[in-house]
Structure 1
Amino acid sequence: MTRQFAVTGSAIMLIAMIVEGLFTVEVVSRNTIDRMAATTALFMDSFLSPLSDDLAAGDVLPPEERAALDGLLGRDDFRSRFPHLEIWKASGTVAYSTTPELVGRRFARPAGLDAALTGEVSARYTDLNADEHAIRGFTSRYLEIYAPVREPHTGRIVAVAEIHEVTEPLEQRLGQLRLSSWLARIGVTVLIMSGLFWIVYRGNGIIMAQQRQLGERMAEVERTSRHNRVLRERIQRASGKISELNERFLRGLGADLHDGPAQLIGLAVLKVEHVRLAETVRRREEELHALDSFLGDALREIRAISKGLILPEIEGLPLPEVVHRAARAHEQRTGTVVIVRCEDIPQPLPDAAKMCAYRFVQEGLNNAFRHAGGNGQTVTCKPEGGVLCLAVEDGGQCGRGRPAGSGSGLGLVGLRERVQSLGGTFRMSKVPDGGTRIEMTLAMTGGCQDE
């Protein structure tokens, strides 16, 4: 853009400068010539006006007047500047001339003569083809100045003086005027062009910077839009899978209730009939003891199932306390040891994120207990650049683990979907000592990280 403006603007400014310069130089030259003509006419009028009466009386000047005028114009200081002089009558007759053979002859009236007869002083360069100049064999162009000769009392124009002035001083002055005019014009044009170029250059820089910023913002918006589309699709998939897992979980929960507590309660109902039909006190005590055992087992199973389903009160708690509660609950339930390394979290998290963290620790520790016997159970929680990193790790197989009740019932698949539904990521990997590590990352500002 700047280069285009420099080329186009320079061409336009150059053409405008040339056109305006030619016009201005022509006006200045014309004004200079007219001013010089007026000055010369005023100077000549001082010694031509006394001849007005003789010029009014006849077509030519008397011989004595011509001789006196020849003596005046023959001086070196006059001749060097005004080499020729003619006095014209309105009829085109030459009443006086520094060239004697022209006196009394009639020629075609020059254009300057007609203008002077109207009272106007005019100047023009010599027409070398005019008859009066052809007779004298003019080869040099003079500046012809036509000035009216008036009667002193009436102001009537009785003749016109044609004064030939050498052009060298005039040309030198005009050359100086033209040179100074062009130099001033070039300087002003360069100054204007430089100012405009600087303004355009600076404006172009600002526009380019804004375009780059706009492009970066558009690219960022496009990346965010694509990211949001991915998240939306991920959330939709996660929601569908969660619904499916929820149905599966409900069916499993129903099966657990039916096959566990419901069977035990059914046996207890049968024992009630046995108690009623018991024939001896001893038999009744035996049946009551069995009934108490069945109901106690059913109650314990119901409590175990409920304990895995119900979350502790975590509203208002910081995330480190939520993680410690999940670890302590697992220790109480399994009798194992859990190492917790949890750093301070600089900002509060929504309850959905804290519930997800609790279930993540709960399910991770349950799997560590089932598959690694609770060996090397470690929970790590720390912020990294605005992202929450939560990991559960075990030390690998060192003996068969024991079931820890019903557990949370979520499973790793459901846990992954729960994490991804919040915009987070879920990873599962092996550690060098043979153990397993599961890790979730969740943006603490509400965003998420790509896997």
Structure 2
Amino acid sequence: MTQAQLVRTRGWGALCALRRRLGGWPLHHRFALAGSVVTLVGMAIIGTIVSGSITSGVVRNSAISSAVYMESFIAPLSQELAVAGSLSPQTIGRMDAILGREPLSERVISVKIWRRDGLLAFSSEADLIGRRFPPSGELLQAWAGQLNASFDELDGAESLREQQSGVPLLEVYNPIHSILTGEIIAVAEFYLDASELQQDLRRAEMRAWAVVALVTAATFLALFGIVRAGSRTIADQTRRLTTQLEELARISSQNEALRKRVQGASQRVSETNERYMRRVSAELHDGPAQALALASLRLDAVMRRAGIACDDPEVGRLRDCLDEALRDVRALCSGLTLPELDGRSVAETLDLAIRAHERRAGVDVERGFDRTGALGVAVRHPYAICIYRFVQEGLMNAFRHAPGAAVGVSADSRDGQVAIRVADDGPGFDPAARGLTGLGLSGLRERVESIGGSFEIDSAPGAGTRLIMTLPAAVPQ
């Protein structure tokens, strides 16, 4: 890194550090710092402009009045320059006499009358008469018809006497016109004692600066008061908002904890319910089912003892009733009992539910999922139960309401979620018109939402039906 780059880097770092430090200040403090700098700069600019305007206006007005006064006696004496190249000795003497009398002698320091070729036709210093000097810019402007006035710009060789006067001088260039033709025949350059004028200008400038400073200070104080009041309002609102945010965060934390407790309780209820159903299934299988099977066997022995023929119609009806009751009890046991789901992945749970439905309904179900990623990871038991029941209920609804329709189960994992769909190409229905009035779908929604998932029905008349369940993907066992 070069030295220049190092300096720029350090300077940028210092600027960033200053910005961070100022960022912690209250708003009205930052306004006071920035506003004072801007106000001072603005006051300096406005004061300079106003002061310059006052000086220019006063100098020009003074020059005009002085030029009119001086031209009243210089112009008549200079008319012979319209026809002659110089002034006569008599004219020069008359000018010296006029300039030597009061009050001109007290106010006018010197007078020069210029010809167009840079020749001095008259000068208060007699030794300069008849000499030529390079014309200054002000002199050229005067030959162009402009009246010029300025303070103490005495830089020419012809102004040595004026430079030695020791008083502030007002230098005026005044065109002299011919009385007959109106053409400029000469330029009068005269120097006036500007001591009083300079004092007046200083007082005027001081008053202007004072007014500018007072107006600027009043404006700054008014703005500072507004910003300070706004800053206090913002600070108060910020404190209130911070308090409200902290309260909301506390309530949100409590709600989250309650939600987790409710979700956990719901999961435990679901597991308890499944265990209860497995227990009921076992009790039915070991109790009523066994009793019905035993009754069917005992029926044959009773018939032999009683001498009743095997083809007796009443015996046949009794045997059919016992067989039907036994089938119903076994079917009920099979419906209440879930396969062993502990340690199963999403894909394995889907396979178990699909195979169970295929065995019961005698139909084929299309599969649309793989065993990789989140679908191949073992999930906690409540999630496996929910997945199994969702697929079981969805396939059974398709079997009941869309017989003969193609049905499929698909699943995928994306954006941290697992989506499982059961779809058929049956007649469909309008979910808004029908609503979830049955126990199956409404129970599914409650089961899915209880473990933090979402449940959706996508169906329309003639467009088939899709049941969609979405669960968090991060639900490992």
State the TM-score, normalizing by the size of structure 1.
Answer: 0.51
Report the counterpart of residue 62 of structure 1 in structure 2. 88
CA contact (8 A) 2:147 2:175 kept: yes
Paired-residue identity, %: 33
Q: 1-side partners of 2:137 and 2:112: how far apart?
A: 15
Q: Please list every run of 5 or more consecutive structure 1 residues that lacks an aligned counterpart in the other structure.
A: 252-451
Over 3 Å counting, the alpha-carbon distance change for 1:105 and 1:241 in structure 2 is closer
Structure 2 matches for 1:3-402, cutoff 5 A?
Answer: 3-134=29-160, 138-140=164-166, 142-238=169-265
Deviations 1:257-309 (A, max 9, x none): xxxxxxxxxxxxxxxxxxxxxxxxxxxxxxxxxxxxxxxxxxxxxxxxxxxxx
Over 3 Å counting, the alpha-carbon distance change for 1:15 and 1:77 in structure 2 is same
CA contact (8 A) 1:60 1:103 kept: no
3-state DSSP of counterpart to 2:103: helix
Q: 1-side partners of 2:147 and 2:116: how far apart?
A: 15
Q: 2-side partners of 1:71 and 1:212: how far apart?
A: 87
CA contact (8 A) 2:153 2:171 kept: no
Letter in 2 for 1:181: A
Q: 2-side partners of 1:228 and 1:247: how far apart?
A: 28
CA contact (8 A) 2:82 2:185 kept: yes
Over 3 Å counting, the alpha-carbon distance change for 1:107 and 1:232 in structure 2 is closer
Q: Report the structure number with the largest CA radius of gyration.
A: 1
Report the counterpart of residue 316 of structure 1 in structure 2. none
Letter in 2 for 1:221: L
Over 3 Å counting, the alpha-carbon distance change for 1:212 and 1:136 in structure 2 is closer
3-state DSSP of counterpart to 1:171: helix
User: How far is the alpha carbon of 1:249 from its aligned partner?
Assistant: 11
CA contact (8 A) 2:108 2:193 kept: yes
Deviations 1:159-200 (A, max 9, x none): 111111112122112101210111111111111111221121
3-state DSSP of counterpart to 2:117: coil
CA contact (8 A) 2:109 2:191 kept: yes
Q: 2-side partners of 1:14 and 1:66: how far apart?
A: 55
CA contact (8 A) 1:81 1:165 kept: yes
After superposition, the CA RMSD in angstroms is 2.8
Deviations 1:345-383 (A, max 9, x none): xxxxxxxxxxxxxxxxxxxxxxxxxxxxxxxxxxxxxxx
Over 3 Å counting, the alpha-carbon distance change for 1:235 and 1:84 in structure 2 is same
3-state DSSP of counterpart to 2:185: strand
Over 3 Å counting, the alpha-carbon distance change for 1:112 and 1:242 in structure 2 is closer
Q: 1-side partners of 2:237 and 2:140: how far apart?
A: 70
User: How far is the alpha carbon of 1:18 from its aligned partner?
Assistant: 1.3
3-state DSSP of counterpart to 2:116: coil
Q: 2-side partners of 1:247 and 1:111: how far apart?
A: 110
Deviations 1:88-122 (A, max 9, x none): 11122221222222222222223222111111100
Over 3 Å counting, the alpha-carbon distance change for 1:247 and 1:134 in structure 2 is closer
Q: 2-side partners of 1:220 and 1:136: how far apart?
A: 84
Over 3 Å counting, the alpha-carbon distance change for 1:223 and 1:74 in structure 2 is same
Letter in 2 for 1:112: E
Number of corresponding residues: 253
Q: Please list every run of 5 or more consecutive structure 2 residues that lacks an aligned counterpart in the other structure.
A: 1-26, 280-477
Q: 2-side partners of 1:65 and 1:144: how far apart?
A: 23
Q: 1-side partners of 2:173 and 2:121: how far apart?
A: 14
Deviations 1:9-55 (A, max 9, x none): 10121122213322332232122212211121111121122224312
Letter in 2 for 1:200: V
Letter in 1 for 2:209: W
Letter in 1 for 2:262: I
Q: 2-side partners of 1:225 and 1:108: how far apart?
A: 91
3-state DSSP of counterpart to 1:83: strand
User: How far is the alpha carbon of 1:153 from its aligned partner?
Assistant: 2.8
User: How far is the alpha carbon of 1:234 from its aligned partner?
Assistant: 3.4
User: How far is the alpha carbon of 1:245 from its aligned partner?
Assistant: 8.8
Letter in 2 for 1:105: R
CA contact (8 A) 1:87 1:160 kept: yes
Over 3 Å counting, the alpha-carbon distance change for 1:71 and 1:236 in structure 2 is same
3-state DSSP of counterpart to 1:80: helix
Q: 2-side partners of 1:33 and 1:118: how far apart?
A: 20
Q: 2-side partners of 1:241 and 1:133: how far apart?
A: 112
CA contact (8 A) 1:59 1:104 kept: no
CA contact (8 A) 1:144 1:162 kept: yes
Q: 2-side partners of 1:112 and 1:245: how far apart?
A: 110
Q: 1-side partners of 2:211 and 2:99: how far apart?
A: 41
Letter in 2 for 1:65: T
Q: 2-side partners of 1:219 and 1:163: how far apart?
A: 82
Q: 2-side partners of 1:247 and 1:53: how far apart?
A: 130
3-state DSSP of counterpart to 2:47: helix
Over 3 Å counting, the alpha-carbon distance change for 1:188 and 1:170 in structure 2 is same
Over 3 Å counting, the alpha-carbon distance change for 1:243 and 1:63 in structure 2 is closer
3-state DSSP of counterpart to 2:91: helix
User: How far is the alpha carbon of 1:125 from its aligned partner?
Assistant: 3.4
